[in-house]
A and B are shown apart, each in its own frame.
Chain A
Amino acid sequence: MNKNIAMTLKKITLSILFFFSGLVLAFAQETTDSVAAPAKKPLEKKPFESGIFVDYQTVEVPTAKTLEFNLEHRFGTIQNQWKDIFGIWGASNIRLGLNFTPVKNLMIGLGTTKNHMVQDLQVKYTFLHQRKGGAPLTIGYYGNLSLDASERKVFGLDYKFSDRFAWYHEFMFARRFCKMFSMQIGLAYSHFNKTDTNYMNDVASISVLGRIKVSPQSSIMIAFEQPIIMNYDPAFIVRYPNHWMTVQSSSQQTCQNVSLGWEISTSTHTFQIFMEAANGIVPQYVTASNTHNFWNGFILFGFNITRLWTF
């Protein structure tokens, strides 16, 4: 009986996400495929310069036939101060990624990350663009499938290959309010096939990104993510029937992530340097496994470099 309740709750949550995505797609179709449609309203300028924004994806997809290389580096936390020069020589995490835009608005990519030896595949599609006097938002979808390539012993005695997988889905809603300011809200869901004891497999989140453009090439970046832990464990739901979804500033499992940074953008490169709490880089690891509490001073520095080649 309790198992049924847990499965039902899981199905309901996933159904809501997919139904919502269907609504958004229908809206996109309605906006772009009218019978005898007048001339399309001109596109608004893009809200972000790059497809990555600290740890997060934006609605931005490079133009078709563009190859993108991402170098994402996170230093250690500043806790050791001068002993490791505020984390510069501390335990770091690095991701190398390669993305390609085969057709307009669709990006596919792959990456490799040092922590947990994560190998990931990703896809992003922007299906509605903000227009002047038209659609008020740019809306996109991002998905990531990752494989933890750590040694088998990490996964315990009852190991199955599927234990290594985790996935992440996000819908992003962005708007360029004016030349100086753009904002994006992201609704995300991450799932790990296997986690440590007392950790939940499913974590949803809401993220808010803000970009303040201070010059043609430079911007201030601010990001905040609130994880929402989904407790599908039947025993937990029986004990705490009103708490199967919990929102906390921090927990044993994961903390809020706060980021503040600076972005410089050129024709072929984007450079971002920032401070934040999470060091997972891969989105599901940032959302579900960030144990650094920003408000307690567990802060680290990091940078992203993106390079574009257009064919």
Chain B
Amino acid sequence: MKTTQKILTVLITMVIAVFFIAGNSYSQAKKPWNIPDKDKNTKAAVNVKDASVISNGKDLWAKHCKSCHGSKGLGDGPKAASLKTNPGDFTVAAFQGQTDGDLFYETSKGRDEMPAYEKKIPEANDRWALVAYMRTLKK
């Protein structure tokens, strides 16, 4: 009986642990961004449809973003598998439905494993160029 109780205790503890870890991973993937309203409503400082701006954004994507988010924004970059957070699919409506200000804020401020690119890319127009390129990833 005592041995059986011990085995059951260990098994139940393991099952709880698995659900806890899985639950945390799930919650990290779904955690919403808390973006201030003024940033949500910020208009792009560049013409996001300008070819030269998109070209600049594409170059910056290749250097800074591709390794996690993938070449086409599918979240399948070589580093993605080692991240705790799912980089996400940037081609879907749920992502593209955000405002330009949302994308600019998320790129600039980052969180957790996502770096704050306002330090690595200090020029705001360059980060707007990244937003312009992200819009071209839409399916």
Contact = CB atoms under 8 A, between A and B. Distances in A.
Interface residues of B, number: 14
Contacts of A217: 62-63
Interface in B49-68: 58-60, 62-65, 67
Given A42-B125, A216-B58, A267 B119 contact: no
B59 A216 contact: yes
B2 to A, nearest CB: 53
B108 to A, nearest CB: 13
Given A63-B120, A217-B62, A267-B64, A310 B115 contact: yes
B115 A266 contact: no
Contact of B63 (A63, A66, A267): A267
B119 A43 contact: no
A265 B63 contact: yes
B123 interface: yes
B62 A216 contact: yes
B122 A266 contact: no
Nearest to A49: B63
A105 to B, nearest CB: 12
A310 B115 CA distance: 9
A222 B30 CA distance: 48
Nearest to A310: B119
Contact of B67 (A63, A265, A267, A310): A267
A54 to B, nearest CB: 21
Interface in B73-115: 115
A83 interface: no
Given A266-B63, A267-B115, A267-B120, 11 more contacts: A63-B119, A65-B119, A215-B62, A216-B59, A216-B62, A217-B63, A266-B64, A267-B63, A267-B64, A310-B115, A310-B120
**4 shortest A-B CB distances, which residue pairs?**
A216-B62, A267-B64, A216-B59, A310-B119
14 contacts: A42-B125, A63-B120, A63-B122, A215-B62, A216-B58, A216-B60, A216-B63, A217-B63, A265-B63, A266-B64, A267-B63, A267-B65, A310-B115, A310-B120
